[in-house]
Amino acid sequence: MLTPDLAARLRLAFDDDRDAETFRLRLERYGPELADNLRAVYGNHADALIGELLEVMLHAYHARPADLKRLDEARLLRPDWLQGPEMVGYVAYVDRFAGTLRGVGERLEYLEGLGVTYLHLLPLLRPRDGENDGGYAVQDYRSVRPDLGTIDDLSALARELRGRGISLVLDLVLNHVAEEHEWAVRATAGEAAYRDYFHIFPDRTQPDAYERTLPEIFPDFAPGNFTWNGEAGGWVWTTFNRSQWDVNWGNPAVFREYLDLILTLANRGVEVFRLDAIAFLWKRLGTDCQNQPEVHRLTHALRAATRIVAPAVAFKAEAIVAPGDLIHYLGSRDHHGRVSDMAYHNSLMVQLWSSLASRDTRLLTAALAAFPPKPTNTTWGVYVRCHDDIGWAIADEDAARVGLSGPAHRHFLSDFYSGEFPGSFARGLVFQHHPQTGDRRISGTAASLAGLDLALETGDAERVNDALARLLLLHAVMLGFGGVPLLYMGDELALLNDTDFAAVPAHAADNRWVHRPQMDWELVASAQADAATGQPVTPAGRMFAGLRHLLAVRRRTPHLHASTESRPLPSPDPCVLLLRREHPTGVLLQVYNFSEHHITFPTWPLQEQLGAVAHDLLGESQFHLGGPDLALEPYRALWLVAGGNSRPTHQPCLWYAQLRLWVRTPNIALSTSSRWRRNWWTCIPRRCGCMSAKG
Ligand code: GLC
């Protein structure tokens, strides 16, 4: 890539030899990847584009603030920074969490208390007014939604976060812009250069041809994939909503624009870009226009260029696609480990809810067993809930492997989580019912889907215990799976559905807002106080304490580094999931009871993996695996390593044992003498590191 012309251009560009050398070395390292991928996509147009990109990169490199350049160097020394078990993500809307960007800055102690190292603030760049798909219809990528603050507030917050070891994560919507975005406005006004930024067709011929193989994303409120726009005089490609215009990545100018946006925002302090709707970038007639090979070439090129200027930056792919397609977002063949650094593990999330409903982990086991391994330098974004609905992405082949019918099981899950299935504990809402396919996606907070709503309504303490135990179980699997756990705001307090969501007119038609509640800071204070007693009694306090314990154990468990995989093992009991991680420090075997039943579990599958004695990191208890069967409590999670307690003075973690007792039977505290209880609780912090989390 370093032609004599380029070398001369570089000499001119720098005053400082060291800077020039750094840029040049990175260009030598990543330039060929950039050029090869651009040539494969843009053919003859690539070389002109590369010249333009060099100017964009040089400009951004010069403008990059010194503290971010230092971060670049630090990250180059620690390329696995996203993979360690200390990474904890938190995902929130700015306004719902803290009102404004400055408000977020005032809540950082709370995040630190949870051990958060990665903060994804849901769309905050200026969206169109009115309905804007939760901010995903962006009108201006260079400014912030006015009521949240300014772009300088964003830089200041990023700096503050960085100082506390928290990476700022922002959405970058790659597939579409709002129809009010300057590019779309100029296209509408007839500027030819900007019309080429979009897919605009004069009549229905091409749209109809594409529609034959295109799915519908929002069949309820935006059926079809094209929208007639009278002013633009054509059918505009709008995969999502009518006001979200798909951009044309076949146009090299679009690539240049997005690279410029990425580098500009990176220089504002964004460390991870969530590449929204990335699967849809490339359109090809006769296909579903998702996951096309060009998508990976474009991402590879964007990443290579970003590494040259800002190697501290990482990409996360928001590709909610089948496992066989998903793996390419982390890289396969030429792109192995060189596209996105992280991708959502949607299947895990879906399968967790599926097993919880069916009390059967065989489908989950089969799906994970068939999952292709990821490149070792990448990581998963693992989650229990997010701001979107849950679509039942259960593959027919996986279902067939365990004797189920895919359509029937998906139907069951929709029935179950909408509360229609007899005996269901869930309180979800149906989102986007598609009569042709029968799809019914589900909205609802994790707590409401896990049964807390219903339990509190019935006033049945046993049901409340089960709901909280389910929530903790799902979080235990998420945290034990490996990857960056993405805690969704409010789940740490078991927040319930926001049943008033429709009071905001722009939200009324989109019931995903039911699980985007306002943060309740009074509840936070009471949950923290409750947890601090060591004997939490409120649902929020119990959830908060339980989650913090799981996070603390995770942080000190090296087996959870994302370079190794969690693989399922066949389990002798369908209610129980077995996950195995093989790490240089030894095997970590996880055991999860997905049912409300006490299970008698044979010890031989555990003994095969761990030998005669195992130590549970979560409960700090020891198990003799050569002996009788294991008694697994309802929704119990074990993280087992071989041998006895590695701590010099072994004591069972009374705190966790007690917490589990409360989760199951809160009244147990009343049955013990107060003196005994006082002694029990005051000695815990010295015995067990699990109370040492900040906050
Ligand atoms: C992503 C977002 C979702 C949004 C869509 C269109 O899937 O998570 O909320 O509706 O992209 O931008």
Task: Give me 561's structure tokens.
Answer: 């580094």
| Ligand 1 center from residue 39 Cα (angstroms) | 30
Cα(291) to centroid(ligand 1), Å: 16
Angle between helices 539-555 and 654-664 (to 10 degrees): 140
Mean pLDDT for 354-358 is: 98
CA 389 / ligand 1 centre spacing (Å): 10
Query: Which tens digit of pLDDT belongs to each residue from 12-52?
Result: 899 888 899 999 999 999 999 999 999 999 999 999 999 99
Burial class, 525, CB count within 10 angstroms (exposed 0-12 / middle 13-18 / buried 19+) = exposed
Walk across the sheet containing 566-569 and list its strands: 566-569, 576-583, 586-593, 637-642, 613-616, 621-624
Q: Which long-range contacts (CB under 8 A, 24 or more apart) does 644-648 make?
A: 644/613, 644/615, 645/615, 645/620, 646/615
Residue 110 structure tokens: 């709370």
| Whole-number pLDDT of residue 7 | 79
How far, in Å, is the centroid of ligand 1 from the Cα of 277? 6
Summarize pLDDT for 59-80 with one digit per residue, the tens. Answer: 999 999 999 999 999 999 999 9
pLDDT, position 6: 80
pLDDT at site 288: 98
φ/ψ bin of 691: left (φ > 0), alpha (ψ from -120 to 50), beta (otherwise): alpha
655 pLDDT tier (thresholds 50, 70, 90)? very low
What pLDDT, in 10s, does the model give residues 223-233? 999 999 999 99
| Six-digit token string for 346 | 């949607």
Q: What is the mean pLDDT of residues 121-143?
A: 97
Residue holding tokens 């792919």?
317
Predicted pLDDT of residue 17: 85
Nearest CA to 218 among 137, 312, 108, 316? 137
Residue 92 pLDDT = 98
Judged against a pLDDT cut of 50, whether residue 657 lies above it is answered with no
**Residue 276 appears among annotated catalytic residues:** yes
Contacts of 4 (CB under 8 A, 6+ apart): none
Contact 549, 536 (CB under 8 A): no
- Give me the chain's average pLDDT, please: 92
CA distance 196 to 255: 12
Q: Angle at which helices 346-358 and 461-481 pack, to 10 degrees?
A: 150
Task: Tell me what percent of the residues of the chain surpass a pLDDT of 90.
Answer: 88
Please list the alpha-helical segments (H only) found in 189-249. Answer: 192-195, 205-211
Residue in 650, 579, 590, 587 with CA at minimum distance from that of residue 618: 590
- The 10s digit of each residue's pLDDT in 583-605 is 999 999 999 999 999 999 999 99
Atom number of ligand 1 nearest to Cα 512? 9
Query: Token digits for 563?
Result: 């370079």
- Work out the number of other CB atoms within 10 angstroms of the CB of residue 84: 17
Beta-sheet pairing, 599-601 with 630-632: antiparallel
Most informative mutation of 276, 431, 488, 511 for ligand 1 (most atoms within 8 A of CB): 276
- Judge whether 641 and 682 are in contact, CB under 8 Å: no
Look-up of token digits 């490996």: 482
State the pLDDT confidence band at 5, using cuts at 50, 70 and 90. confident
For a ligand 1 pocket test, name from 91, 131, 133 the mutation site with the most ligand atoms within 8 angstroms of its C-beta.
133
pLDDT digits (tens, 9 = 90+) for 105-128: 999 999 999 999 999 999 999 999
pLDDT digits over 148-177, tens only? 999 999 999 999 999 999 999 999 999 999
Whether residue 486 contacts residue 382, with contact meaning beta carbons closer than 8 Å, is answered with yes
d(CA 34, CA 57): 12
- Tell whether the model's pLDDT for residue 651 goes beyond 70: no
390 Cβ contact partners less than 8 Å away, ≥ 6 residues apart: 349, 350, 353, 417, 428, 441, 442, 443, 449
The whole-model pTM stands at 0.93
Contact 178, 187 (CB under 8 A): no
Instruction: Report the C-alpha gap between 51 and 453 in whole angstroms.
Output: 58
CB distance 198 to 184 below 8 Å = yes
Structure tokens belonging to residue 628:
């009788």
Taking the C-alpha atoms of residue 600 and residue 589, their distance in angstroms, rounded to an integer, is 18
Atom of ligand 1 nearest to the CA of 388: 9
Share of the chain above pLDDT 70, in %: 92
Using CA atoms of 405, 411, 414, 417 in order, give the dihedral in degrees to the nearest 10: -60
- Protein residue closest via CA to atom 3 of ligand 1: 388
pLDDT for residue 672: 29
The lowest-confidence range among 78-82, 176-180, 216-220 is: 216-220
* pLDDT range class, residue 645, cuts 50, 70, 90: low
Rounded to 5 degrees, φ, ψ at 587 are: -90, 140
The protein residue whose alpha carbon is closest to atom 9 in ligand 1 is 388
Structure tokens at 400: 């067939």
Would you say residue 661 has pLDDT above 60? no
Q: Is residue 569 within 8 Å of residue 580, measured between CB atoms?
A: yes
Helix axes 539-555 and 461-481, enclosed angle (nearest 10): 20
Span from the CA of 387 to the centroid of ligand 1 (angstroms) = 9
pLDDT at 686: 26
Ligand 1 atom with least separation from CA of 137: 12
Q: What is the pLDDT of residues 395-447, one digit of tens each?
A: 999 999 999 999 999 999 999 999 999 999 999 999 999 988 899 999 999 99
Q: Which of 53, 546, 127 is nearest to 301 (CA)?
A: 53
What pLDDT is recorded for position 88?
98
State CA 6 to chain mean position distance: 40
Amino acid identity for residue 434 in this structure: H
Cα 276 to ligand 1 centroid, rounded to whole Å: 7
For position 16, what pLDDT does the model report? 85
Whose Cα sits closest to atom 12 in ligand 1?
136
Q: Which residue, by CA, sits nearest to atom 7 of ligand 1? A: 277
Type and span of the H or E element at 66? helix 66-77
Q: At what angle do helices 252-267 and 46-63 cross, to 10 degrees?
A: 10
The pLDDT, as a whole number, for residue 593 is: 98
Res 662 pLDDT > 60: no
Could you give the dihedral angle defined by the CA atoms of residues 532, 534, 539 and 544, in that order, rounded to the nearest 10 degrees? 60
pLDDT band with cut points at 50, 70 and 90 for residue 1: low
Cα gap 9→1, rounded to integer Å: 13
What is the spatial distance between Cα 121 and Cα 19, in angstroms, rounded to a whole number? Answer: 32
Cβ partners under 8 Å of residue 450, min gap 6: 356, 425, 426, 467, 468, 470, 471, 474
Over the stretch 238-277, which tens digit does the pLDDT of each residue have? Answer: 999 999 999 999 999 999 999 999 999 999 999 999 999 9
Sign of CA dihedral 333, 337, 339, 342: positive
How confident is the model at residue 4, as a pLDDT?
Answer: 81
For 543, residues 6+ apart whose C-beta sits below 8 A from its C-beta are 447, 468, 471, 472, 491, 492, 493, 494, 527
SS3 72: helix
Report the separation in Å between the CA atom of 124 and the middle of ligand 1, taken as the mean of its atom positions. Answer: 13
Site residues for ligand 1, CB cut-off 6 Å: 133-134, 136, 173, 240, 276-277, 318, 388
- Looking at residue 507, the DSSP 8-state letter turns out to be G
Which entry of 133, 171, 276, 341 is annotated as an active-site residue?
Answer: 276
Whose CA is closest to atom 10 on ligand 1? 133
Q: Give exposure, 588-602, as e/b (b: 16+ Cβ within 10 Å).
A: bbbbbbbbbeebebe
Tokens of 657: 């044992």
pLDDT at 681 over 80: no
**Burial classification of residue 417, based on how many CB atoms lie within 10 Å of its CB (0-12 exposed, 13-18 middle, 19 or more buried):** buried
Q: Which of 133, 318, 498, 573 is catalytic?
A: 318
Per-residue pLDDT, 518: 97
- Ligand 1, residue 175: give the atom nearest the CA: 12
Q: What distances in angstroms separate CA 398 from CA 115, 409, 424, 570, one per listed residue?
A: 36, 11, 24, 15
User: Which whole number is the average pLDDT over 499-513?
Assistant: 96
Q: What digits encode the pLDDT tens for the residues 475-500?
A: 999 999 999 999 999 999 999 999 99
Q: How far is CA 15 from CA 20, 23, 143, 149, 349, in A?
A: 8, 12, 31, 36, 51
